[in-house]
Amino acid sequence: MMFDRSIREWGVDRGEDYLFSCVRDVLDKADLVVANLEGPITTRKSVSVGSSPGGPNNTRFTFPTTTATLLAQNGIDIVSIANNHAQDFGREGIESTISFLDAAGVAYFGDPLEERVFTTLVNGVPLAFIGYNEFQRLVGDLWQGSMKTVEHIRAAKADGYLPIVFSHWGSEYVGANAQQKRLARSFVEAGAELVVGAHPHVVQEHEEYLGKHIYYSIGNFVFDQYFSEDVRNGLILRASFTKRGVENLEEIPAYLERDRRVCIQ
């Protein structure tokens, strides 16, 4: 989800809730909704609004201070901030994002400051959400690498949680690469119950490995890319869990409309 650039402008013009108006019913039916927040929430003025594609500020994001409340009001409970835009405004931006999320009651995981794992109990099912970011830059003495992710998975599993890994990785606009596949399988071998990927902006391959589901990329959700059908098509995953793991998994096709809404296809 990206709330800067033309998404920000349409939110101002139509009201931010408009962006989710096509999918709100689907989100409301879930016990818990998790999504990737692709940038910081700050008081800074946007530098990407009005910028030219390919320009220096076109992909440097800062989201409105209302973004966390917008997420909460539209049924999004937890966000991953393990991605390549979380640090677009440095440590200040990360700390600001966390402050706004906390105030709105939206949980988070994968931040580069503390490498937070979020654990919760949903209808008696213990879940642990873990972020992996291939593009992580060093912040202080922390570096969220794949070995750290494996450690988080093993620790969560040992504590009785079902580890769910959200990974930010791969190359944009193409299929999953060998590095993604190697890492995803290592996460499953460590005990991950489900691996869900983002960053490539297109839906990549899905596979089962050792009986566990891996979605290498589920594509765009809230984003202003329309140059091909591949970038306009994404997936919402509806996963049902028991204490033993994933019981059922449903793919719900999502589509980016040019009026900046994300809708069910």
How high is the pLDDT of residue 67?
98
Global pTM reads: 0.95
What is the distance between the alpha carbons of residues 113 and 91, in angstroms, rounded to a whole number?
8
How high is the pLDDT of residue 112?
83
The pairing of beta strand 233-242 with beta strand 245-256:
antiparallel
Who contacts 186 (Cβ-Cβ below 8 Å, separation ≥6)?
A: 146, 150
Alpha helices for the chain (secondary structure H): 5-14, 24-28, 67-73, 90-104, 146-158, 178-190, 229-232
How many domains in the chain?
1
> Percentage of the chain surpassing pLDDT 90?
92
Which phi and psi (to 5°) does residue 142 adopt?
-100, 145
Domain that holds residue 116: 5-264
- In this structure, what token pair is assigned to residue 202? 């297109």
Mean pLDDT for the stretch of residues 74-101: 96
Q: What is the pLDDT of residues 109-151, one digit of tens each?
A: 999 888 899 999 999 999 999 999 998 754 444 445 788 999 9
Instruction: Return the residue matching tokens 């606009």.
Output: 173
How high is the pLDDT of residue 142?
41
Nearest one of 57, 37, 59, 48 to 8, comparing CA atoms: 48
Residue 112 neighbours by CB distance under 10 Å? 23
Q: What's the CATH number where 224 sits?
A: 3.60.21.10
Residues comprising the chain, all counted: 265
How high is the pLDDT of residue 192?
98
What is the distance between the alpha carbons of residues 8 and 15, in angstroms, rounded to a whole number?
10
Q: Tell me the average pLDDT of the chain.
A: 95
Is residue 41 scored above 90 in pLDDT? yes
